[in-house]
Structure 1
Amino acid sequence: MEVTTLARRATWTGGAVQERLRRLNLITTVPPLAFVGVLLVVLTARTWWHVVLQVVGLAAALATAERWTAGDFIRVARPCVAITAVVWLAGAMTDDSSSFYGLCVVGSFTIPPLPRHRIAALLGLGVLVAALGSTNLLVHSGHGVGRLLQFVVIPAVSVVVSTAFTFVSQRFYDLVAELEQSRDREAELAVIRERMRFASDLHDIQGHTLHVVKLKVALAEKLLRSDVDRAQEELKEVHTLVGDTIVQTKELAYAQRRLNLSAELENAKNLFEAAGIHVRVDREAEVDARAGELLGQVLRETTTNILRHAQAKQVRITLAESGITIVNDGAPEDGQPELNGLATLRQRLADNGGELKVDRQDGRFLTAAAFPRREDVR
């Protein structure tokens, strides 16, 4: 349930963030462009033909900008470039110097997202704007330098400058998108970690129970002929243990499971004694409550490992304020001392500021889990 909630939350958050980014781009991009376009129409249009040209160019520019904010402008960019180029050509020939505005906006949105050859595309766009504007010099005579600046130099430079600003805006948008993708990946990793934690806890419950049941059933079989009453007691304990495991599995599924270190200690002691292993428990201090649950998991996993892998005769458990140490004999000499369950617990302890050590020497296996004391942290 918790894993599913995390996954849904990650998906919903990612979609909501993308929608907020799109709205933010719409607010910061489209209204200013529309305001400038309308202002140019009001201030520079001298005939109805100029009004039509500038409105058509502005509409193409706003359509490109709106699709750019949605990340889906490629299919409208090319026709809009063609439309605004025709508008600028017609404006240059009819002496309307503001008609280049639409082509300037469309080009500035089209070039930055290109995968390569952006500089070449920008130079090409500048040359196109200058070439289309130069038709004004062919149609209209007089004021040669002024017309050159008004219809060739200023539009070409404006295209380059506006594209540079759009490129910076695009890079900022890309960085924000990458940040959101990183957050999405972190959410996915959190889901994976939660699944691993759930699998580890389920392994602790089911694996531990199955090995204990196997031990007690074997013991009951031995006692059937010599001590029937004791065999019945062992079978009753198996029944109780299976029932407790069912309850713990339900608690785990609903994220309600909590380990009690004292109960785990008593359980480990009973299991070792039932297996004929001498166990000694030293309580040097009461364990810090914040670490008790994780230490209980370490004790449970270690108990299972000893019963499964060791031919132990003696086990010593030492509890300190911030940790637990379990030492057993009968450890096999071959193989690696690192066990999968303990490896998972090592990472879990590290995530909570603790440390887990395992060591094997001269047939003795040591498992030690510790958390720093609060005064040490200060």
Structure 2
Amino acid sequence: MNRWFPPGAATEPPPGTTRQRVRRWNLIALVPPLAVVGTALVVSEARTWWDAVVLVVGLLAALVVLERWTADDISGVAVAGLLVTAAVWPYGVLLADSPAAFYGLAIAGPLVLPRLSVRRRAAALGLAGYIAAVGATKLIQPQQDVAAVIVGYVLVPTAVVLIAIGFNFANHAFYRIMEQGRRHEAELAVYRERVRFAGDLHDIQGHTLHVVALKVMLAEKLVHGDAARAEQELREVGALVSDTIARTGELAHGRRRLNLSVELENAKNLFEAAGIRVTVERQTRVGVDGEADERIDGLLGQVLRETTTNILRHADATHVRLTLTDAGICIVNDGAPIGPLPVLGGLAVLRERLVGEGGRLTAEQRQGDFRTTATFPHPHASHPRPDREQERL
């Protein structure tokens, strides 16, 4: 039995998300075939109406466990499902003469056991032993074909259940490894972003410090022979240091102007490294000329960088859609955690800066998607700074 829905969600995923689509596919691919097979077994094995009722109850209990398994919320029905399906098996062996009565237990047991936190192997062996032992009780009835009983009531049911258990254990382990690998990729992507930040810091300070060192050495040589020139060199050193302090502060607080095209390519690389599918939709972007266009692109680049970091750190995203329009940029990711809108953090600071330049930044969470939109409604117009008392977060 295959499982396409990755583990990790504590509750049923909201409608419209990737997880909900995977859950719907699981329901379509698994529940109907198993229900049809189970119904056929009930029809062929039941000799009386009472036999049919008991076998149907076991089948329904197994299908309920399967339905909850597709939603990754099996804990509420695990015990009841196991008890009901386990009770149907001895009834089928001793009263209904139905070797297929283990069918419900063969569905529910392998789904539940991999979810146990401890003693999963012991529980698997215990389930197989229970099925074999109950099947062997058929031998206490008189006039039984020993070979047929051992094959039909012991070996076949036990083998089927062991195979299903082994497959589901392997399946569960596979998805756990995949999930861990995805988290490690996201952590690596964040680490790469930090390395890039360190590179930006080096670009700002490394060259300046080298120039400062040369100018100080020159001033030392000129201090006695050409005091005016030495004084000029020292003034330039002071100006360089002040400029570097300002640029370092801008970098530390996310106010350094960035190139939107470079940030877009970097975001794509980070998402792909984290195993997240990226879709980029480009429409004609017409900015204002000169300084204002550079300023707007820099702010949009900062929004994209901050949103990228937030997605990698806090979301369980599988798909990110980046849309560039005439007015700005929109970033939509799935896998947003269920609950109220989180604290914006760095985006709140950027919202103030966009408002100050005549723009707007919004963030909204709906049905598992998180949408961040930064726009400048009138890119060709000037950007008067609004009254901060009227424009609040």
TM-score scaled by length of structure 1: 0.49
- Bigger fraction of residues in helix: 1
Kindly indicate whether structure 1 or structure 2 has the higher relative contact order, using CA contacts under 8 Å at least 6 residues apart: 2
